[in-house]
């Protein structure tokens, strides 16, 4: 079963709070992320992952009636911002929740776990069976 785990960061000015961390705290956080990804890969659960640019760089895009792009944003008043995501292939939802809890506890300043929200959603592999 494939799941997407989406790490959310609290709202702010549109910049990630990580920009204000000490270099040591940033390095520890990134080492945690790299080790987590290696662990997923070694377990055969890794599908992919990416960190995202700061929300201050985001735009919402829709097509105009003639198909040209219309951009809007940035919306720093949002409650949370998507910081990055993982796609994992695991045996059951409980394993995805376990992994999400582990990544939620990534170290922040002074090594204190961040306990950030991680949304877990199953990746659809086809139409629902009840359709």
CATH number, domain containing residue 39: 3.30.70.1060
Cα distance between residue 51 and residue 83, in whole Å: 6
Distance in angstroms (rounded) separating the CA atoms of residues 53 and 129: 37
Q: How confident is the model at residue 77 (pLDDT cuts 50, 70, 90)?
A: low
The reply to whether 56 falls in a domain is yes
Q: Is residue 110 part of a domain?
A: yes
Q: How many domains does one find in the chain?
A: 1
Cα angle vertex 15, ends 9, 21, to 5°?
80
Domain span including residue 70? 2-122
In a domain, 130, yes or no: no
pLDDT above 90 covers a percentage of the chain that reads 61
Residue 25's pLDDT is what?
95
Rounded mean pLDDT of the chain? 88
Check pLDDT > 80 for residue 46.
yes
CA–CA separation, 76 and 51 (whole Å): 18
Q: Count the Cβ atoms, other than its own, within 10 Å of residue 57.
A: 11
Question: In whole angstroms, what is the distance from residue 55 CA to residue 47 CA?
Answer: 24
- Percent helix, strand, coil in the chain, to 5, is 30, 30, 35
pTM, entire model:
0.83
| Structure confidence at residue 13 as a pLDDT band (50, 70, 90) | low
Is 128 inside a domain boundary?
no
Least Cα distance to 32 among 117, 105, 119 occurs for: 105
Structure tokens at 124: 């659809």
In a domain, 131, yes or no: no
DSSP category for residue 58: -
Residues 6+ apart with CB under 8 A from 42: none
In a domain, 99, yes or no: yes
Helix (H) or strand (E) holding 100: helix 93-104
Judged against a pLDDT cut of 60, whether residue 81 lies above it is answered with yes
């Amino acid at each position: 079963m494939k799941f997407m785990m989406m790490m959310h960061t609290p709202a702010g000015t549109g910049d990630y709070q990580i920009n204000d961390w000490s270099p040591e705290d940033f390095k520890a956080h990134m080492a945690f992320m790299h080790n987590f990804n290696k662990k997923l890969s070694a377990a055969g659960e890794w599908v992919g992952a990416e960190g995202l640019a700061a929300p201050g760089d985001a735009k919402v895009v829709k097509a105009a009636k003639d198909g040209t792009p219309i951009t809007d944003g940035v919306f720093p008043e949002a409650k949370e911002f998507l910081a990055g995501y993982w796609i994992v292939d695991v045996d059951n939802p409980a394993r995805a929740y376990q992994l999400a809890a582990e990544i939620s506890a990534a170290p922040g300043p002074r090594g204190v776990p961040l306990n950030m929200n991680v949304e877990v959603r199953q990746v659809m592999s086809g139409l629902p069976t009840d359709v």
